[in-house]
Amino acid sequence: MRLLYISVGGVTLYLIDRNFYSSAITRSLYTFRAGLLTALDYKLNFRAHPWTVNSIEELHARNAERLAVLLRENGGLYLKIGQAIAMQSAVLPPAFQAMFSRMFDDAPQNDWDTVRRVISEEFGGREVEQVFGDVIERKARASASVAQVHWCRLPDGREVAVKVQKEEIASQVGWDLWTFKVVTWIYSKWFDIPFYSLVPYITERLMLETDFENEADNAERMAELVAGESRLRDRVYIPKVYRELTTKRVMTAEWIEGVRLWDKSAITNPWLGPRSSGTPGAHGAPLDGPTDASHEQIASGQVKPERNGWQGLDGKGGLGLRLKDVMTSMVDLFSAQMFLWGWVHCDPHPGNIFIRRLPGGKPELVLIDHGLYIHMDPNFRHQYARFWKALLTFDNATLKDVVQSWGINNADIFASATLMRPYMGGNKQTSEEIRKLSSNESKKAQQERAYEAQQKMRKGIKEILGDGKQWPQELIFIGRNLRIVQGNNQFLGSPVNRIKITGFWASRALVENRHLRWNQRLANWGSHLIFRTVLFTSDVVFWFSKIRQWLGRGRGMEDDLEESMKGMAKEFGVELNHGVFEG
């Protein structure tokens, strides 16, 4: 009888969880189970001679698969957390790199009835047609971990993107983030890596991503900042948000016709449209195409007119743009965010960037998905600009002064992680330790070398994190931004010297900082003029890589930098063999 009561109680709890909490509790239990198994597996087997596997590599592969199954089965915010980790996966073993590269696949769509229900709940019980009119696509044009986007033409003729949060997210987000906190706390204590101090800030950012009114605020603020910057306003565009059609779980914004950043051929192929025109919608140009839709089209779920006439009859035409111009605008934009405004978009992957052709034949970069931003206070922003300038001038005194104020114990490693290349201006302490480690390792068995190298990696992580109370938490997402922009440049064949452009904006921000006294700004201006000559050496490296690329001896500066990082990282037991946007 007791067994019967337990069984009935268990089934009842399961049904309540499934129907009222979107299986949030079940997902949490599944996470704890997977986390506990993984932790025990590493406690038992992460040693020179593992007990239940043949090698540490086999241990990593087994747990990477276990984590992949967890993220895939739970979905939702788990995919968002997986994507956040994926952009930093270079420091993970190869098995985890391969697993996280799959985090950028499209997430499954919710069906139309579910979408209708969310919209109705957000607009006081009104039906979709009462809110948006009859012309809205039933099939989403894009689907991600938290939301999906539908094309719509409003009754007044405006074409909009309707971003609808997936129904289950509201029930799951609190449980998911609580589970993430608990699991991270356990791992931080168990493996003695000070990760947990960063978790509250991360979860706060992730929670804000589920608030579309916050995303609308971010988009409008970025639009104002871009419009007020003469060096960017004619090259960057932020879509307009329609506040009257935006709520916590539904956001409506201007529809954008453009080419995704990952479509290199469509960006560079010859322009076959009218000579004096640009792509539809670029720089305020009207959208062309049919203005009505049949009932059959609406029922089929696909009603948006296709506007690809500029690609020619064979569809092989393109925007006719230079990748150098596209990437220059991108690096300029995100450098301005970091050093001038302190308001940083932290998810600039290729899916969130459209490229359009202006009537004059220049590129226009359109930035979407403004859910994940961080704010840098003026003092930290000033320190970060000093840090970047010191990186490029080998000003080790300034470098040490800044990073120590952030609680970081190893300036060389942090400088290398920021540049994504070995920092050559330090005191060589880290390099010397690596050299000694390598010479000692040659006398040991292969498994012992791998174990000791990965222990060294853990020590390096602890030295970077240092004092968690002093460590600027914004650096987590700034590093993510830098890595994605570097990946974009690398993906396009390294058309620009990203490090030089970023450093130039850092130095210029010190000149333009109105919070400094006039004599400090004057000194910074003189220093900036000298700094511009110093940047010439960076150009020498860039053009050397570019010439090797033209001769078929290399793939570009970003690849050359990554190769040099591989050599340094390998001594720490880290295999940098991934592509940022694989999958």
CA dihedral 143, 146, 148, 154 (to 10 degrees): -160
Residue 347: pLDDT above 70?
yes
Q: Which of 107-116, 266-275, 563-572 has the lowest mean pLDDT?
A: 563-572
Summarize the confidence of residues 18-40 as an average pLDDT: 66
Element (H, E) at 237: strand 236-237
How many residues in the chain? 583
Please give the pLDDT value at position 7. 46
Q: Which residue has the higher pLDDT, 139 or 39?
A: 139
Please give the pLDDT value at position 540. 67
Q: Where are the beta strands (DSSP E) in 289-409?
A: 343-345, 353-357, 363-367, 373-375
Residue 359: pLDDT above 70?
yes
Q: Which residue has the higher pLDDT, 272 or 556?
A: 272
**Inter-residue contact 145 to 79 (CB < 8 Å):** yes
Which residue, 453, 398, 399, 457, is CA-closest to 423?
399
**Inter-residue contact 438 to 168 (CB < 8 Å):** no
Summarize the confidence of residues 549-568 as an average pLDDT: 55
**Inter-residue contact 223 to 236 (CB < 8 Å):** no
Reported confidence tier of residue 1, pLDDT bands at 50, 70, 90 = low
Q: Which residue has the higher pLDDT, 302 or 269?
A: 269
Summarize the confidence of residues 116-121 as an average pLDDT: 96
Please give the pLDDT value at position 553. 65
User: Phi, psi (5° rounding) for residue 142?
Assistant: -155, 145
Please give the pLDDT value at position 403. 84
Please give the pLDDT value at position 374. 92
Measured CA to CA, the distance from residue 412 to residue 415 in angstroms comes to: 5
Summarize the confidence of residues 41-51 as an average pLDDT: 76
Q: Which residue has the higher pLDDT, 195 or 320?
A: 320
Q: Look up the pTM and report it.
A: 0.76
Q: Which residue has the higher pLDDT, 30 or 241?
A: 241
Q: What is the pLDDT of residues 388-409, one digit of tens each?
A: 888 877 778 888 888 888 877 6
Summarize the confidence of residues 446-453 as an average pLDDT: 58
Start-to-end CA distance of the chain, whole Å, equals: 51
Please give the pLDDT value at position 447. 59
Measured CA to CA, the distance from residue 259 to residue 266 in angstroms comes to: 7
Q: What is the pLDDT of residues 411-429, one digit of tens each?
A: 666 666 666 555 555 555 5
Please give the pLDDT value at position 102. 56
**Inter-residue contact 379 to 334 (CB < 8 Å):** no
Please give the pLDDT value at position 163. 97
**Inter-residue contact 263 to 229 (CB < 8 Å):** no
Residue 147: pLDDT above 80?
yes
DSSP collapsed to 3 states, 82-133? HHHHHCCHHHCCHHHHHHHHHHHCCCCCCCHHHHHHHHHHHCCCCCHHHHHC
Please give the pLDDT value at position 59. 80
Q: Which residue has the higher pLDDT, 156 or 201?
A: 156
State the chain's mean pLDDT as an integer.
76
Q: Which residue has the higher pLDDT, 40 or 344?
A: 344
Please give the pLDDT value at position 154. 95
Please give the pLDDT value at position 254. 96
Please give the pLDDT value at position 441. 45
Please give the pLDDT value at position 250. 97
Please give the pLDDT value at position 570. 44
CA 50 to chain centre: 35
Reported confidence tier of residue 430, pLDDT bands at 50, 70, 90 = very low
Reported confidence tier of residue 567, pLDDT bands at 50, 70, 90 = very low
Q: What is the pLDDT of residues 453-503, one digit of tens each?
A: 556 555 555 555 555 567 788 888 898 888 889 888 888 888 888 888 998
Residue 144: pLDDT above 50?
yes
Please give the pLDDT value at position 494. 82
Please give the pLDDT value at position 394. 77
Q: Which residue has the higher pLDDT, 61 or 80?
A: 61
CA 185 to chain centre: 24
Summarize the confidence of residues 509-532 as an average pLDDT: 70
Residue 442: pLDDT above 70?
no
Q: How many CB atoms lie within 10 A of CB 528?
A: 19
Measured CA to CA, the distance from residue 156 to residue 159 in angstroms comes to: 9
Q: Which of 168-177, 309-318, 345-354 has the lowest mean pLDDT?
A: 168-177
Q: Which of 51-65, 170-184, 226-240 has the lowest mean pLDDT?
A: 170-184
Summarize the confidence of residues 513-519 as an average pLDDT: 67
Please give the pLDDT value at position 192. 63
Residues 572, 574, 577, 578, CA torsion sign = negative
Reported confidence tier of residue 211, pLDDT bands at 50, 70, 90 = very high
For 364, counting Cβ atoms within 10 Å of its Cβ (0-12 exposed, 13-18 middle, 19+ buried), the class is buried
Please give the pLDDT value at position 158. 92
